[in-house]
Every structure is written in C-alpha cells, then in structure tokens.
Structure 1
Amino acid sequence: MRIGVQNKIGYLTVEIMKPAPNDLGYVAWVTDNNKVKSWLIDSMSPYLMQRFIRLAIAKEKWEAIAKTFYYGSVETQLFELNKKSFTTKQNGQPLSTYYNELVAIFQEIDHRTVTNKEGVAGIVHMHSMTARLRVHIFLSGLDVEFDQICGEILRKDPKLDLESTYAYVRRDAQQRQTIGNSRPVLEKKTNNFICSHCGETGHSKQQCYKIIGYLDWWDFSKKLRKNINGKATMFDISTANGSISPITGEGPVVLSNNLTLDTILARPGGTARDNLPPLIS
C-alpha cells in the first residue's frame, strides 16, 4: 500500500528499468529503488528479512517473495481459507481472540472472491448468504458453554449479522462472568468430631451416648464398633432384670451341630452362652 501511495509500483514491474550508471537518472533510480527495498523489508519478520535482504534490486526482491509465498490458483487459496474457517475453534481462548481470528480469515476470502452476479440485487443476495454462513461458522466454533445462546441466536428473526452475533455472545459471556464473580462461596459442611470419651467419630463428648444414655431406638445387637486405637468400644446394655451392664466382648455360641449364633455380646462375669435368653418351653 505504501509503495502504491508513493507512486513506486513501477519499481516492482518492468515499467521502470535500471538505467546505465552513466545515465543522468541513475542516481535518482538508486535512491527510489532503495526506498522500495526498505519498505518491503520493513514489512517482514526478522526471520524473513534474512532471506531477502541481500537482493540488490527491488524487482528481484519482489519476484523472490512472490515465488516463495505462491499458494497456487485463487480457487486453491479459497479452498484452504474456507477449510481453515471451518476448522478454527475457540478451544478455551478469549471470545475476542477467537472472533478476530475468524474475521481475518473472512477478509482474506473476500479479497480473493469475485462475484459473477449482475446487478445490485444479485450482489446483495450473495452477501446475505455469505453473512449467514459466517454466523454459522462462528457459532459452531464456540465452546460448549455457549450452546444455549447459540440456539437463541438461530431462532431470531430477522437474522443477526456476524458483528451483531458477536456482540450478543459477548454480552452473555460478560453477564455469565459477573454472576460467577458475585456468587457466594458455600463452605462444605464437615463433621470431624472425635469423642474424647469413647473414641468414636461423628460426635463430641457432650453428645456421647455412653455418658448421656442411649435412646430407645438404639440397636444393641449390632457389632461393636472400633475406636481410634483399634480396640472394641464398651457399650452398656439393659439386662433382663432392668439393670445396666457393660459389654466386654462378643463371640459365637454353638447350640448344636446345625445351629450356631454368630454374634453374642458378653458381659462381665459371664460367657457368651450365659447371655443367651431362656428357651421357651
């Protein structure tokens, strides 16, 4: 663009040839040739500069660049650009980064697209179809968190163009972020009490049944639980005469060859068999 504004395009074509050193215009040609060369070099990355900086004539430099970056026919270039637009995804990038990357691809496509439509109506129709396609490409590449907003956009009538679609999604993303930042953090409730009296977890000493007494629904037939030292925890049970007796252990009782009681609680001064209830005659 700078070369065209300065009216120096001829230095990249055959329009302005290098004069003989004894020609009166030779000095002016050298000056302008160096200007065009510097403009070309300034537009390159440091890596590319090293490849083209030693070419002495601007036209030679331009031809070398054209050969290096020739991608084939316009149709081939359009195919590659369209494929790139369909495969470009957000993939966790910021929304603006993804949008700008797509727009840059679309601009390259527009630069290489020639319409065969005649008249204003044909051109407007083509642009309308292209705009809708690009909205679909943009929406299809968004992260899954925008699935709901994509459905809203596709149901809108009249249809949104690409810029309006981006603005719509961007507002939703900002609202989502605002709500997320203002949402209170709920602390997870945990119960890490360890009773200092019986060693069981899940309650404190003030809530220990061994101190305050067992509730009516307490099941004394279940197996003894282990305390933090791995030893059996002592429970109190009510005996048949209504007195309270501690539990000292548990064990099986063989009643006959075919009948064994697996778990019988033992109390002080008696064996597991002594704790059996009387048989009903």
Structure 2
Amino acid sequence: MSEGGGDDLSIQLANLLKNNLNTQNQNSKQTLSDSLKISLKLNSQNYALWAQMIRVAIGGKSKGLLNHLSGEPAPPNPTDDQYEQWEQDDLVVFSWLIQNIEPALASNLTEFPTAKALWDALVVTYSSWKGKLQTFDLHVKANDFKQNGSPLEDFWITLQGIWGEINWRDPNPITCAVDIATYNKIRSEQKLFQFLNALDRQFDPVKREILRWDPLPSAEGAYAAVRKEMAHQGILGTISGSSSQLGMAAGLVADGSTKTDGLGLATKGHPRRQDLTGKSSSQIDKSRLKCTHCGMTKHTKDQCF
C-alpha cells in the first residue's frame, strides 16, 4: 500500500469516528428531549413508591442524570464551558419530575431553581411524614382494603402500593439474620392473608384451596394462582355460584354419606326430587333423618323451623 493510500485510510477512519460521535450526541439529545411518564403520579400518600419508580425511570434514560437528584458530583461553575449543557440537562430532569406530580401539588413547586432543590423539597415534605398515626393508618388500610369489583390487576397494584408505604415507614428493625428471616415470614403471611381477605367472594373456592397449601405461598404466589384461575374460567366460561359449589365439593346428607342425584351431581343435605330407586322426595322415610341444628328427627338442618 502506498504512503498516500495510508493517509487516505487514516482520514476515512477519523471521519467515521467523528460522524459516529455526532450521531451518538444527537441520539442522546433526542432521548433527553422525550417526555418521561411513569404509571403513577406523586400525591400525599404514595411518596415512597413514587420516589423509587421515578429514580429508576430517570436512571434508565441516562445514569448520569441521577446526579441532578443527588447533587454529586457538584454542578460545574457557571463560568465553565460544561455549565450550559449541565443546565440544559437539569431543566429536562426538572420537567420530568413536574410531569409526574399531581397538578394540585405541582403548581406550588415550579419556583425551585434546580432539579435537586425540587427533589430535596419533596424529600423534606413527604419522607418526614413518619408519625405513628400515619403508620397505624396504613396498617388499617391494608387490613380493610377490598377489591369491590375492580379489575384484579388494578386491585393488586394498589395493594402493593400500600405495602410499599408500610415497608418504607415501618421498616424491619431486626439485625439478627435468623430473626430477620422469622420477621419476613410473619410479614409474608400477613400480606397473604390481607390479599385473600380483600378478594371478592367469587374467588372463595380458590382462596380455600390456597390456604390448604403446605407451605403457604407468598402473596405474589397466591396472586399468580388467582390469575391462573381467572384465565381458566375465561376459557371454560364462568360458573354460577350454585353450579360452582356442586362441582367443587362432594355433597353430604344428614348421615354423613355422599350421594348423588339422578344426574350424578353431588347434593348437600337438600331433599332430592327423585332418588336412585325412583322414589320421590315425599316417599323417603323421614324417620331416619336427624337435624344437626336442633337435634330433633324427621328433618334435616335445611328444613329446620
């Protein structure tokens, strides 16, 4: 290769590198100019979960942008050449924070000069809200929370938000590894019971099945099981309450034995229109029946006066 050809190759490589850097800078600027929205906006009740989510979202855009929240390293001096770019990035981070705050709160936060000043104000305003009254209120809310017909996914996300606030405001104070494991197991069972208790009545059969598991699953495992049951019902069709009860448990008559009606369905202490011998319910020998409620004979509990 001639000496001139080598120089040409060097120039071409230099141009390629230069064009690549320019492209990266343009893509970076385009990324920073995009809006950033997470699935929930900051209000007076969800700071802990919101703060985690917004940090992850901003760090996902560019890890260096988290410096605008922490203040480390310190911003460049206004006379430095890098200050203009830093200020532009800081305005972007500031706008992302405002975009993800409820409008009623955001209207009072626009006067802060930098993203860090705004972030610090949010920390002081909401993270210091750790009184025992608020912690008590969160535990009451977790225990009283109900699905009330809302979509399963929305209900689950809301309940997780309450748990996140509890974990943040009432953290595990134990330092011993063995005791930490015990504490976590207790909290896991509490979350499981709260989740099952909050579910609508239509999930009672699957709730009973989950409580028979040994060992008990986590709340997350129970949620997965409920979602699986929902998908199963979506394929086979929803079952009415009476049919579901007939299909899921064997029926018991007064003497404790299991019998079926003419269609092969289990019955549970209810008089049958026709037994296997062809007799109607009026022809059944009632002297053998005994009520488990009042102790008297010739009728069952469902017929008790």
In the superposition, the TM-score normalised over structure 2's length comes to 0.48
Match for residue 128 of structure 1? 185
The alpha-carbon distance between structure 1 residues 54 and 156, as it changes in their structure 2 partners (threshold 3 A), is same
Partner of 1:118: 175
Structure 1 position 132, deviation (Å): 0.7
CA deviations on 1:214-248 (whole Å, 9 max, x unpaired) are: xxxxxxxxxxxxxxxxxxxxxxxxxxxxxxxxxxx
Q: Which has the higher contact order (CA 8 A, sep 6+)?
A: 2
- Secondary structure at the aligned position of 2:230 is classed as helix
Partner of 1:73 in structure 2?
Answer: 130
Mark the CA change 1:12 to 1:120 in structure 2 (over 3 Å): closer, same or farther.
closer
User: Given that residues 36 and 58 in structure 1 are in contact (C-alpha distance below 8 angstroms), is that contact kept between their aligned partners in structure 2?
Assistant: yes
Which residue pairs with 1:142 in the alignment? 199
Matches within 5 A, 1:3-18: 5-6=63-64, 9=67, 16=74
Q: Which residue of 1 aligns with 2:298?
A: none
Which residue identity is paired with 2:179? G
1:97-116 equivalence runs, <5 A: 97-116=154-173
Aligned counterpart in structure 1 of residue 153 of structure 2, from 85, 91, 96: 96
2:101 aligned to 29, 35, 44, which one?
44
- Taking a change above 3 Å as real, the CA distance of residues 56 and 108 of structure 1, as seen in their structure-2 partners, is same
More helix by share: 2
Paired residues for 1:124-203 under 5 Å: 124-180=181-237
CA distance in 1, matches of 2:160, 2:225: 16
Return the alpha-carbon distance in structure 2 between the equivalents of residues 45 and 169 of structure 1: 32
Secondary structure of the residue that 2:108 maps to in structure 1? helix
- The Cα of 1:102 is off from its aligned counterpart by 1.3
Number of residue pairs matched by the alignment: 182
Relative to structure 1, is the Cα distance of residues 18 and 93 closer, same or farther in structure 2, using a 3 angstrom cutoff?
same
The one-letter code matched in structure 2 to 1:78 is T
How much does 1:103 deviate?
2.0
Q: Which amino acid aligns with 1:73?
A: K
Unpaired segments ≥5 residues, structure 1: 184-281
Cα distance, 1:131 vs. partner? 0.8
Are the equivalent residues in 2 in contact too, given 1:37–1:57 (CA < 8 A)? yes
Tell me which protein shows more strand as a share of its residues. Answer: 1
Q: Is the 8 A contact 2:192 2:222 kept in 1?
A: yes
Superposed CA deviations along residues 46-84 of structure 1, whole A, max 9, x for unmatched, are 554433224333344334434554562264543333222
| Counterpart residue number, 1:232 | none
Q: What is the one-letter code of the residue matched to 1:152? A: E
Partners in 2 of 1:15 and 1:29 — Cα distance?
12
How far the C-alpha of 1:139 sits from its partner, in A, is 0.8
**Distance change (3 Å), C-alpha of 1:96 and 1:169:** same
Partner of 1:56: 113
CA contact (8 A) 1:11 1:17 kept: no
Secondary structure of the residue that 1:158 maps to in structure 2? coil
Q: Does the C-alpha gap of structure 1 residues 149 and 36 become closer, same or farther in structure 2, counting only changes over 3 Å? A: closer
Q: 1:158 to 1:182 in 2, by over 3 A?
A: closer
Does the CA contact (< 8 Å) of 1:71 and 1:77 recur in 2? no
Taking structure 1 as reference, are residues 18 and 73 closer, same or farther at Cα in structure 2, changes over 3 Å only?
farther
1:32 Cα deviation (Å)? 5.2
Give the CA deviation at 1:133.
Answer: 0.7
Q: Cα offset for 1:141?
A: 0.8
**Rg larger in 1 or in 2?**
1
> Relative to 1, partners in 2 of residues 1:14 and 1:121: Cα closer, same or farther, differing over 3 Å?
closer
Q: CA, structure 1 residues 36+174, in 2 after alignment: closer, same or farther (shift >3 Å)?
A: closer
* Post-superposition offset of 1:169: 2.4
- What is the TM-score with the length of structure 1 in the denominator? 0.51
Name the CA distance, whole Å, in 2 between partners of 1:150 and 1:109. Answer: 24
- Aligned-partner SS, 2:207: helix
Contact 2:65–2:89 (8 Å) recurs in 1: no
Is the contact between residue 11 and residue 59 of structure 1 (CA under 8 Å) also seen in structure 2?
Answer: yes
**RMSD, aligned α-carbons:** 3.6
CA distance in 2, matches of 1:134, 1:65: 29
The whole-number CA distance in structure 2 between the counterparts of 1:156 and 1:170 is 17
Gaps of 5+ in 2: 1-54, 241-305
